[in-house]
Structure 1
Amino acid sequence: MNKQVTFEQVSLNTECFGNPDNPAILLIMGAASSMIWWETPFCQLLADQGFFVIRYDNRDTGKSTSYPPGKPEYTFEDLADDAIRVLDSYTVEKAVIMGMSMGGMLTQMIALRHPERVRGIVLLSSMYFAAGAENLPYSSEEVNEFFASFGQNEPENDHELLEYAIRQWRVTNKSSRPKDVEHIRAMLKLDIERAANYASRVNHSYAQVTGDELGRIAEIQTPALVIHGTEDVVIPYIHGEMLAGTIPDSVLYTMEGAGHELHPQDYIPVVKQIVSRFAP
């Protein structure tokens, strides 16, 4: 079921799976990516295991409110608080919050900003920002070079935009996992078609962090599950190790050979880890 959540001139597109009487899990996708990247089979697997699953488009993605490229009218704190608005709209008092990449960053913030609403957190391919973060490796040279050229030779039509998105996917999702390129092409095409303005997805790169939550994750009191691939070229595996080593009640699940992705090959083992940690 799809539902638009509206407040203060903001509209967020959401979708749910499963029985609303079951314990909830809220899925927050990463930067520049809409909710469809929490693919339906993964959401259905969680629902089949007894969760009420909610996914949604962050601002500037999918069918949610978008702003002019380069001019986001929100902070990361606003994005974190959006998640609570979504829970409110479904009358969910507490939920497991699962975030991928930037979504994991927002999840860390939510655990400290709204601890009374969080039953547990799952951080997938997420970045570590606390003490010692300045000494950690970050994206590969190829990833950095690709994004350094962002804005040059802008795609002039939907075909060029799709080809650009595919090149971005190839650069950021390198790993030993098999690649279904035609499926990814179809997903990216759908992502472009769903977006009010696909170019606005860059706004996540311009949004500011105004609070200090990301440096205080040692204060997180909720149980945590950290999931990270060993071949992640966007956020190296050591970030997962640092997150799990810093958040007090945390468990690290290592996806050997996985990159910056939630690959279909990992759906079942990841769901098993979530159920084991946060059994409905």
Structure 2
Amino acid sequence: MNHLTTAHGITLGIESFGDDGAPLVLLAGGTTMLSWPDALCERLAAGGRRAVRYDLRDSGESTTVDPEAPAYTLRDLAADAVALVDALGGGPAHLAGIGVGGMVAQVAVLDRPDAFSALTLVGTRAVAPGPTDDDLPDHDQATMGRLFARPMPDWADREAVAEFAAAGAEIFGDDPAAARATAARIWDRTPGTAPPVQMANQLGMVFSKLDCTPRWRERLPDIGVPTLVVHGRRDPFFPVGNGEAIAREIPGARLLVLPEAATAIPDTAVAEVAEAMLTLG
């Protein structure tokens, strides 16, 4: 099954690993499902879970309309996670979000705590895109300057897009070869070659245009499910202080800092992250 249409009419691209009757771990993409490594999904399945990763709207095989003017909010994306749990019949589920998908996951658990049994947040923060709170570290400006100094690729050229992703990964401190391969897979899964759609799939720029109100950071102490916070020590996009703050503010949360990781889950950390998620629930 590669698609699932929710009760509220949104089609979401999904991929399932493991036994359909096993406890559900729902993996929200950041923005596409390929933010979650194949090897991690496979380890969760080997650990007795049904791991289902999915594309957020305007990415991958999910409903794509206009990434430059999204007609939905962060709370709508959170409602998609709840709708997926209902449609898959696996509730309450362990919800995991990476990057911007971690924002979706936080809001989903806060808005519908009955739908979820556990929460994993990877490389994310507790405030929306844009200016951050004074006590949270913002994007590393030197890194962002290097990223945005580069000319954009021809988004209709698969190899140019893959090379652009590899060069960006090198700037971030991620694995360029892995990023190149993932970018090519994302390109292949993207509906059409329209530059705004390809750009949204590769960079997740749609999130900068979303209505992410109201704030949710102040509600983090209300999260009552077991929570794992995973963060790369070398993450320049959402520096590790963001993960540390989330772990402090969610009661009983466990913080797992990956000393050699940046924004992506590296192959060397897959086993540790999977084991921590399986232990959580």
In the alignment, which residue of structure 1 is the partner of 2:134?
Answer: 134
Q: Does the 8 A contact of 2:35 with 2:264 survive in 1?
A: no
In the alignment, which residue of structure 1 is the partner of 2:245?
Answer: 242
Greater relative contact order (Cα < 8 A, sep 6+): 1
- Structure 1 position 102, deviation (Å): 0.9
Q: Does the 8 A contact of 2:162 with 2:181 survive in 1?
A: no
SS at the partner of 1:162? Answer: helix
Map Cα deviations across residues 123-160 of structure 1 (whole Å, 9 max, x no partner): 11111339x9322211112333256558x656264143
User: What does residue range 10-159 of structure 1 map to in structure 2 within 5 Å?
Assistant: 10-30=10-30, 33-129=31-127, 133-146=133-146, 148=148, 155=154, 157-158=156-157, 159=159
- Structure 1 position 224, deviation (Å): 0.7
Q: Distance in 2 between matches of 1:221 and 1:262?
A: 26
In the alignment, which residue of structure 2 is the partner of 1:185?
Answer: 180
- Structure 1 position 54, deviation (Å): 0.8
In the alignment, which residue of structure 1 is the partner of 2:194?
Answer: none
Q: Distance in 1 between matches of 2:234 and 2:278?
A: 25
Q: Does the 8 A contact of 1:129 with 1:215 survive in 2?
A: no
Q: Report percent identity of matched pairs.
A: 27
Q: Please give the TM-score of this superposition, normalised by the length of structure 2.
A: 0.88
Q: Distance in 2 between matches of 1:226 and 1:157?
A: 36
Corresponding letter in the other structure for 2:125: M
The number of aligned residues is 269
Q: Distance in 1 between matches of 2:209 and 2:147?
A: 13
Name structure 2 gaps, 5 residues minimum.
192-196
Q: Does the 8 A contact of 2:47 with 2:278 survive in 1?
A: yes
CA 146–66 in structure 1, closer or farther in 2 if over 3 Å, else same: farther
Q: Does the 8 A contact of 1:25 with 1:97 survive in 2?
A: yes
> Aligned to 2:228, which of 225, 235, 242?
225
Q: Does the 8 A contact of 1:155 with 1:164 survive in 2?
A: no
Q: Distance in 1 between matches of 2:25 and 2:143?
A: 31
Q: Does the 8 A contact of 1:218 with 1:246 survive in 2?
A: yes
Q: Distance in 1 between matches of 2:155 and 2:77?
A: 30
Q: Distance in 2 between matches of 1:61 and 1:146?
A: 25
The root-mean-square deviation of aligned C-alpha atoms, in Å, is 2.2
SS at the partner of 1:135? Answer: coil
